[in-house]
Amino acid sequence: MTRTVYVNGEYLSETDAKISIFDRGFLFADGVYEVVSVLGGKLLDFAGHMKRLRRSLAELELPSPAEDDELLAIHRRLVSENGLDEGLIYMQVTRGAADRDFLFPPKGTRPSLVLFTQAVALRDKPSAETGLRIASVPDLRWGRRDIKTVQLLYPSMAKMDAKRRGADDAWLVEDGVVTEGSSNNAHIVTADGVLVTRDLSHSILHGITRAAVLRLAAEENIPVEERNFTLDEAKSAAEAFITSASSFVLPVVEIDLHPIGDGKPGPIAKRLRQIYIAESEKTAI
């Protein structure tokens, strides 16, 4: 089935959708994006994703392509036109099309706005039962990882390296400490049951799922510490897990071939996945 997608004000078949070859997203990776999950045809934490989008746009001085209520209407129309029950909506905003020049294009250049859906099973994932095997990879990304830009070459290379080494995903490591996963936030649970996760800074993306999971953990009386943790601390942790809009919460059972805890998904990661899904179903719009 061909999808209906959204490009610069138009709803089109994916086979007819076009973007200019002069688009700065294509030529310079000069753009930002968001990914919103859909469960039961409803959007998860839409407000959180919009807040982060606004911050990314502001940090790059990118003009806003549309107000939040318009973006919500586009998300909803794509869900309905594509009969999307479970999956993701990808939204990208770039600085638009202009002559290729290292200077920013003239004021008034219209930003490009593209959205499309992807049907994906989010609730039932084999890796929620088996857990993920992680390979550590040096974090060689730029210094503003808090901005959700479309320049994803290094995370793709990190993932490729992990796959080559027989792992499912990569955790990025800088000066001995874990920053985050290639496309997710990284968390561990200590032997005395404390959830430890990297604190917010320019070094990591401020995950919307991370924020929700930390809030739910506090409600469950799970102690939380937001601080650096080393790769060695992660390897000897009782549990490890990742969070992202597309994976929710997924347990990690191995890092660099070293089993985490007893090598099986841990109880806190499993519980947080359950309550995250239950809570999301309640609050989705």
Interacting residues with ligand PMP (CB under 6 A): 35, 180, 183-185, 205, 207-210, 243-245
CA gap 63, 48 in Å, rounded: 19
Write the CB contacts of 231 (distance below 8 Å, at least 6 apart in sequence): 136, 171, 173, 176, 177, 178, 255, 256
Residue with smaller CB distance to ligand PMP, 62 or 245: 245
Secondary structure of residue 127 in the 3-state scheme:
helix
Residue with tokens 């919500």: 72
Shortest Cβ distance from residue 67 to ligand PMP (Å)? 21
Minimum CB distance to ligand PMP smaller for 97 or for 158: 158
Q: Which is nearer to ligand PMP, 94 or 203 (CB)?
A: 203
Q: How far is the CB of 142 from ligand PMP (least distance, A)?
A: 12
Q: What is the token pair recorded at 9? A: 């004000």
Residue 257 falls in which region: left (phi positive, over 0), alpha (psi -120 to 50) or beta: left
Give the shortest CB-211-to-ligand PMP separation in angstroms. Answer: 8
> Which residue's CB is nearer to ligand PMP, number 98 or number 152?
152
* Catalytic residue check, 148: yes
Annotated catalytic residue: which of 42, 125, 148, 163?
A: 148
Please answer whether residues 235 and 255 qualify as being in contact, where contact means their C-beta atoms are separated by less than 8 angstroms.
yes
Q: How far is the CB of 98 from ligand PMP (least distance, A)?
A: 27
Output the CA angle 245-12-99, nearest 5 degrees: 85
Amino acid at 112: S
- Residues annotated as part of the active site: 148
